[in-house]
Amino acid sequence: MFKNISTPPSFSLLKKGGFYLLLHEDYKETFLQQGVGDLKNLLHQHDSNTHYFSGRTPHPSILLQNGNRMVIRQYSHGGWLRAITGSLFFFGTRSFRELSLTEEIRSCGIPTIEPIAAIHRTLLSPFYQPFLLTLEVPGALNPIQYLQRMGPRPSREHLLHKREIIRSAGLLLRKFHQAGFYHADLQLKNLLVVGDQVLIIDFDRSYRKKTLSEREKMKNLLRLNRSVEKWKRSGLLITRTDRWRFLLAYAGGNQEILKVMQRVPRTYFIGLFFHRIGWAIEDRVRG
């Protein structure tokens, strides 16, 4: 099962009971002492200082002995599969693959979070539960939170910072794609703003190729644009100029990319129309 998983530098693979653990050497002893395999017990030990990040399921963040905080992400299915299988997966090594890819992305100098462990909890074969453990980035906000904090009437200083952040996001994605990485779910919630820097996160089902095709790059850009459309409907302060600022930074003077964006297939806009209908239905149900 784990033959095709390359163990990144500074990590080691261990088996403990029904758990396979891919652990960073700097945290191995801490994990084993605190019982990282038994996550329920681990969370119970740190219940008083645990806080949660939102996601498909809440991600708890606990305080480690060295003063860092660790975020625990349990994988779960989306859509109709979630009601049937929840957090159970069939075959595969999902968290191990994401950890390895995240370390590969970090090695290319692309800003992202730091993984410190992946857990593969075996149940009744071939079912398993995957977990990914990463260091919390203090003060990080996703772009939605960042823009919401700015408010409807941002100051000139805030507007200038917003422009720099948008430009940084375009440069980041260009570097990401030039290195051959494809993001399987590129949306606003999978970017983080930390001071003047933008990070890209959550690489489940993502991959790397020697060279990405223009179609793959465009698919990522359009997925991100769809996310922007969705949150703009909720009042998020994103203008047409903001989008062009992002695209100009991403294109980096490559006129072909801008021409391709201007020739976006009509099928995308038809698809976006149906997404808008879905969002409207969601709003009514929530209301």
Asked which of 135, 170, 196 is the last residue of a domain, the reply is 135
pLDDT digits (tens, 9 = 90+) for 50-67: 777 766 677 888 888 788
In a domain, 45, yes or no: yes
Query: Would the pLDDT of 140 be above 60?
Result: yes
Q: What pLDDT does 233 receive?
A: 85
Q: What pLDDT does 6 receive?
A: 78
* Best CA proximity match to 183, nearest among 68, 102, 88, 82: 102
* Best CA proximity match to 119, nearest among 167, 87, 151, 162: 87
Q: What pLDDT does 285 receive?
A: 45
Where is pLDDT greater, at 223 or 45?
223
Query: Would the pLDDT of 172 be above 90?
Result: yes
| Three-state SS at 236 | coil
Query: Would the pLDDT of 272 be above 50?
Result: no
Please list, in sequence order, all residues whose beta carbon lies within 8 angstroms of the beta carbon of residue 42, skipping any fewer than 6 positions away.
34, 35, 36, 62
Q: What pLDDT does 1 receive?
A: 59
Instruction: Residue 263: give the domain boundaries.
Output: 143-286
Whether 19 contacts 122, CB under 8 Å: yes
Q: What pLDDT does 55 receive?
A: 67
Q: What pLDDT does 275 receive?
A: 47
Where is pLDDT greater, at 125 or 171?
171
Q: Examine the domain organization and report whether 127 and 165 are in the same domain.
A: no
Q: Examine the domain organization and report whether 190 and 256 are in the same domain.
A: yes
In a domain, 43, yes or no: yes
pLDDT digits (tens, 9 = 90+) for 77-122: 776 666 566 778 888 899 999 999 999 999 999 999 999 999 998 8
Q: Examine the domain organization and report whether 194 and 221 are in the same domain.
A: yes
Q: What pLDDT does 250 receive?
A: 92
Q: Examine the domain organization and report whether 64 and 178 are in the same domain.
A: no
Q: Examine the domain organization and report whether 85 and 167 are in the same domain.
A: no
Q: Examine the domain organization and report whether 234 and 151 are in the same domain.
A: yes
pLDDT digits (tens, 9 = 90+) for 18-42: 888 999 999 888 777 766 555 655 5
Asked which of 107, 135, 163 is the last residue of a domain, the reply is 135
Residue 106, domain CATH: 3.30.200
Q: What pLDDT does 84 receive?
A: 66
In a domain, 193, yes or no: yes
Q: Examine the domain organization and report whether 51 and 79 are in the same domain.
A: yes
Q: Examine the domain organization and report whether 241 and 170 are in the same domain.
A: yes
Q: Examine the domain organization and report whether 153 and 269 are in the same domain.
A: yes
Distance separating alpha carbons of residues 182 and 207, to the nearest angstrom? 5
- Based on the structure, what is the number of domains in the chain? 2
* Best CA proximity match to 90, nearest among 77, 72, 102, 74: 77
Where is pLDDT greater, at 279 or 131?
131
Tell me the whole-structure pTM to 2 decimals: 0.86
Q: Examine the domain organization and report whether 276 and 159 are in the same domain.
A: yes
Query: Would the pLDDT of 162 be above 80?
Result: yes
Asked which of 114, 135, 156 is the last residue of a domain, the reply is 135
Q: Examine the domain organization and report whether 181 and 231 are in the same domain.
A: yes
